[in-house]
Amino acid sequence: MAGAVSIPGATVALSTASVYPETCAAAFARAARLGYDAVEVMVWTDPVSQEAGALTALSQLHGIPVVSVHAPTLLLTQRIWGPDPWTKVDNSIALAKEVGASTVVLHPPFRWQKEYAGEFVEGVALREHETGVALAVENMFPWRARQREFEAYLPHWDPVPQAYDNVTLDLSHTSTAGSDAMAMAAALGPRLRHVHLADGLGSLKDEHLVPGRGTQPCAEFLEMLAVQRFSGSVVVEVVTRKHTPEQREVDLAESLAFARLHLATASTVDA
């Protein structure tokens, strides 16, 4: 039989950041209602996002597992769990283990975090070895303003040349950086552990559009993952903060449908 459709083992998850300013609890409810496989928890000011017991209760209530935890290493989450960056990472690892997530997503250090940056690559590798949790370092982008570019991250915003065993590839960030997402995935090979699915139009702003509404090769990227039998997680991370609840529901449903469609690949099976 020719033209059979095969579905890879990739999990399609919803980031709790995608429902902001709604709560973490609302994200679990939406994920279950719309048919997502899992949730990625963005550790945020919402106390529930920081509490393993509360997250476990939500997971059990809705039948939705937590596949990953996003450490509070964003500029806007610098006050969560104190000022020490390694404390943030270690607390995220502990949270992930308690809720059964196998991956922690984290951003590279900011340039002004010199001590942290100097030991970052080795510190990530050591913690992965000691805990068994994958620390998937996310691709970022240079900051640009008034036709000037500022390298805000160390050792670099591009994780591909760095010695990380696990990487998160964010397709909104590739748009902002002007990176080639397909080439980055090819260069990463098996180090590509985790995907943040979003889109962008190449502006200086990190847009996180619904996939298919920008210029990133979102469809081709997912189809490539399908062909390669990618078994990691594809996490929908789109911005809906200015939406009504109804508009948010539509965008999250569309994003899930897009992911499901393009993660299905045609394969030839002998009759």
Read off the CATH number of the domain in which 71 is found: 3.20.20.150
The answer to whether the beta carbons of residues 204 and 145 sit under 8 Å apart is: yes
Higher pLDDT pick, 75 / 83: 83
Q: Return the pLDDT at 271.
A: 35
268, part of any domain: no
First to last CA, the chain: 4
Q: Summarize pLDDT for 86-108 with one digit per residue, the tens.
A: 999 999 999 999 999 999 999 99
206, part of any domain: yes
The answer to whether the beta carbons of residues 7 and 225 sit under 8 Å apart is: no
Q: How many CA atoms lie within 13 A of 196 on its CB side?
A: 38
Q: How many domains does one find in the chain? A: 1
4, part of any domain: no
270, part of any domain: no
Between 16-20, 44-48, 139-143, 148-152, the lowest mean confidence (pLDDT) is in 148-152
How many C-beta neighbours within 10 Å does residue 168 have?
29
The token pair at 51 is 């509490």
Nearest 5°: the CA angle 69, 74, 79 is: 95
pLDDT at residue 267 greater than cutoff 90: no
User: What's the chain's length in residues?
Assistant: 271
Share of the chain above pLDDT 70, in %: 93
Q: Return the pLDDT at 269.
A: 35
Q: Return the pLDDT at 76.
A: 84
Confidence of residue 151 (pLDDT cuts 50, 70, 90): confident
Between 77-81, 176-180, 192-196, the lowest mean confidence (pLDDT) is in 77-81
Q: Summarize pLDDT for 236-248 with one digit per residue, the tens.
A: 999 999 999 999 9
Residue 122's φ and ψ, nearest 5 degrees, are -70, -40
DSSP 179: -
Place of tokens 């393993």: 52
54, part of any domain: yes
Q: Encode burial over 181-205: b for 16+ CB neighbours within 10 A, e otherwise.
A: beebbeebeebbbbbbbbbbeeeee
Q: Summarize pLDDT for 202-213 with one digit per residue, the tens.
A: 988 899 999 999
From CA 262, how far away is CA 221, in angstroms rounded?
Answer: 9
What value does the mean pLDDT of the chain take? 93
Strands 38-42 and 167-170: unpaired
Q: Summarize pLDDT for 7-23 with one digit per residue, the tens.
A: 556 899 999 999 999 99
pLDDT at residue 223 greater than cutoff 60: yes
Q: Return the pLDDT at 144.
A: 78
Q: Summarize pLDDT for 34-59 with one digit per residue, the tens.
A: 999 999 999 999 999 999 999 999 99
From CA 196, how far away is CA 175, in angstroms rounded?
Answer: 12
Confidence of residue 4 (pLDDT cuts 50, 70, 90): low
Q: Return the pLDDT at 1.
A: 43
The residues facing 196 across adjacent strands are 170, 235
From CA 12, how far away is CA 217, in angstroms rounded?
Answer: 18
Q: Return the pLDDT at 268.
A: 33
DSSP 70: E
Residue 195's φ and ψ, nearest 5 degrees, are -130, 135
pLDDT at residue 146 greater than cutoff 90: no
Residue 35's φ and ψ, nearest 5 degrees, are 100, 20
Q: Return the pLDDT at 5.
A: 54
Q: Return the pLDDT at 3.
A: 52
The token pair at 197 is 């699915």
The answer to whether the beta carbons of residues 103 and 194 sit under 8 Å apart is: yes
DSSP string, 105-119: EEPPPBTT-HHHHHT
Strand (E) or helix (H) holding 196: strand 192-197
Task: Name the residue range of residue 102's domain.
Answer: 9-246+257-263
Q: Summarize pLDDT for 191-204 with one digit per residue, the tens.
A: 999 999 999 999 88
How many C-beta neighbours within 10 Å does residue 81 have?
19
2, part of any domain: no
